[in-house]
Structure 1
């Protein structure tokens, strides 16, 4: 029953905006976008303004994937966070890092640097519908004390689910 707005802040990856628009249609959400190659911070700024003006309950800001070794991309994330906080008191209220379950131990150092840069509040672990078990997330939880909040188990809207720790541990040890 919440009114949700999506912000297409991934302006660099080919077809990212179009992909988010498809998800917007599937889920009944409006998408705020700029042209491909636009400044992601400008997209997020416009989305925050739109969310406030139109009475949205939730704004989900999608940003490009970040390589922790690329300083300029990490600085851009800090800028996006500053803009959100300046334009809406207390924002962002949640910062989720999306991790592919097939990612190896590199995910730990990636999460550590992301957390230092923007303060991650949770992990969304995707691609758990395949052969990946996502065991690397245990190290992230242990070292960084960042909880897993969501898991992705498929390609549909209903395939993004709340994380259930007991079920996850059981799945890790299944044969």
Structure 2
């Protein structure tokens, strides 16, 4: 995870703006609004090992423009360094997601299915990248905040969002 610090630091220098930059528990930070008085802040999720989730804020509000600019910079920087990654900014959350280009949830599920061939596999998703699991699962479910296209593919769509949606699916569908 810490290999993402280089591209992010370079981008922050490129921005020529003073950022509060943290490697932190992003959920805890977001829930506490501890950065709402900070002009510019970047929060890198400390729990990710092989991917990065980068949150960009301006006075406590998601800064989509800077997130997209940072994502472009990370893509260009990694390309120049021959680091093969995918970079996206899901509109639903506005954070930057970086992952190895050969990694996917579908590949991970296929790996697990090879180890546990007699098991059933189910997926709860909310965004288009979750759809690559469809051919590997016995059932696909969506939380209420999922994108329309994701909801169309689901066996069941929870009326609840985020974690409450996951709890709803687990308690009503299994």
TM-score, normalised with respect to structure 2 = 0.30
TM-score, normalised with respect to structure 1 = 0.30
Larger RCO of the pair (alpha carbons < 8 Å, separation 6+): 1
Larger Rg: 2
